[in-house]
């Protein structure tokens, strides 16, 4: 009886990915030099980080256990592996991605006017709204004053990993980074083809060695409640309860509220911060573009 010797398409995809991963140097992928390495090419976790997917998902691709990568994931892999047009066509042929049209999750996220008005009315409590990739969508005056030491208040992960102010501001910056990365991993797991997540992970992987290391790990679910200890350049030490609430009217968005124990030195610090005033140009949306 004759056996079918045709190669398994999934196995062929794995070999293809391993070949191009092995032949691409860290410098060729845009990564900084990290000294001597055991292998000349990229590691699996490095490819996963640059492509914006989880290490376990990428491992399944190479092992032939994931047979339906999305078009967006394939585009990201082609970009990371620096594939030419011929190799890119071969990647798509081996993967045989589903061609059905799906609604892209990428969109300009907006905060509803009533929610923005609500948090702006909280003059004694820092509050802000995050998008699905932890983009800072809108913040009230006290939140802007709290984070005024950061050069650019646009995304929590970019603030934590790319802004030097984070080390002085957070008393436990490592814990804050772990929490933020775990939250982004949860988003990536539910929507591995999300273009905003792919873009953010790719940028942070190139610019932050620490992010690449943390992204390669696996984390449990992020608790909705935490206590943050921070140092503000204007009012000193603050201990704030960190509460995260899902916004049901805008799936993927979260309301973050920071609250000090009444009568505590931290409450006095927030009151002083409020009297000092918020930055001249607070981070918020143009009302004309609100949904």
Which CATH number covers residue 74?
1.10.260.40
**Predicted pLDDT at 11:** 61
The answer to whether residue 2 sits within a structural domain is: no
Query: How far is it, in rounded angstroms, from Cα 254 to Cα 271?
Result: 25
- φ/ψ of 243, rounded to 5, equals -115, 130
Short-list 139, 284, 130, CA closest to 222: 130
**Position 129 in a domain:** yes
CB 237, CB 221: distance < 8 Å: no
Lowest mean pLDDT among 185-189, 236-240, 281-285: 281-285
Q: Is residue 233 located within the same domain as residue 283? A: yes
Q: Provide the domain count of the chain.
A: 2
Residue 73 and residue 214 in one domain: no
> What is the pLDDT at residue 7?
43
Question: Is residue 244 included in any domain, yes or no?
Answer: yes
Question: Mean pLDDT across the chain, nearest whole number?
Answer: 83
169 shares a domain with 55: no
- Of the three residues 95, 129, 146, the one that is the final residue of a domain is 95
Q: What is the CATH number of the domain that holds 232?
A: 3.30.450.180
Q: Is the pLDDT of residue 220 over 70?
A: no
Total-model pTM? 0.66
Q: What is the pLDDT of residue 108?
A: 75
- Say if 105 falls within a structural domain: no
Model confidence band, residue 5 (pLDDT cutoffs 50, 70, 90): very low
Most confident of 32-36, 85-89, 159-163: 159-163
- Say yes or no: 240 and 149 in one domain: yes
User: Looking at residues 122-147, what average pLDDT do you find?
Assistant: 96
Could you tell me if residue 258 is inside a domain? yes
Specify if 108 maps to a domain: no
Give pLDDT, residue 71: 76
Residues 41 and 154 in one domain: no
Tell me the residue range of the domain where 205 lies: 113-289
Longest CA span, the chain? 86
> 228 and 133: one domain?
yes
Q: What are phi and psi of 245, to 5 degrees?
A: -120, 130
């Amino acid at each position: 009886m004759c056996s079918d010797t045709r190669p398994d398409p999934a196995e062929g995809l794995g070999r293809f990915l391993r070949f191009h991963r092995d032949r691409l140097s860290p410098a060729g992928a845009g990564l900084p030099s990290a000294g001597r390495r055991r292998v000349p090419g990229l590691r699996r976790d490095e490819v996963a980080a640059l492509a914006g997917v989880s290490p376990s998902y990428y491992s399944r691709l190479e092992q032939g256990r994931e047979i339906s990568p999305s078009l967006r994931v394939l585009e990201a892999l082609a970009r990371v592996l620096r594939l030419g047009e011929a190799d890119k066509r071969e990647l798509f042929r081996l993967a045989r991605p589903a061609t059905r049209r799906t609604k892209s999750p990428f969109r300009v996220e907006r905060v509803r006017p009533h929610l923005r008005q609500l948090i702006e009315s909280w003059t004694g409590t820092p509050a802000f709204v995050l998008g699905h990739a932890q983009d800072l969508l809108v913040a009230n005056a006290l939140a802007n004053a709290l984070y005024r030491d950061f050069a650019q208040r646009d995304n929590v992960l970019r603030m934590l990993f790319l802004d030097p102010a984070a080390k002085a501001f957070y008393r436990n910056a490592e814990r804050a980074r772990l929490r933020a990365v775990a939250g982004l991993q949860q988003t990536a797991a539910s929507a591995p083809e999300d273009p905003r997540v792919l873009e953010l992970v790719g940028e942070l992987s190139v610019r932050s060695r620490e992010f690449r290391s943390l992204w390669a790990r696996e984390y449990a679910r992020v608790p909705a409640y935490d206590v943050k200890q921070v140092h503000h350049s204007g009012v000193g030490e603050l201990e704030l309860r960190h509460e995260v609430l899902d916004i049901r009217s805008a799936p993927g968005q979260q309301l973050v509220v920071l609250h000090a124990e009444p009568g505590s030195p931290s409450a006095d610090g927030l009151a002083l911060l409020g009297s000092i005033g918020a930055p001249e140009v607070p981070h918020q949306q143009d009302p004309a573009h609100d949904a």
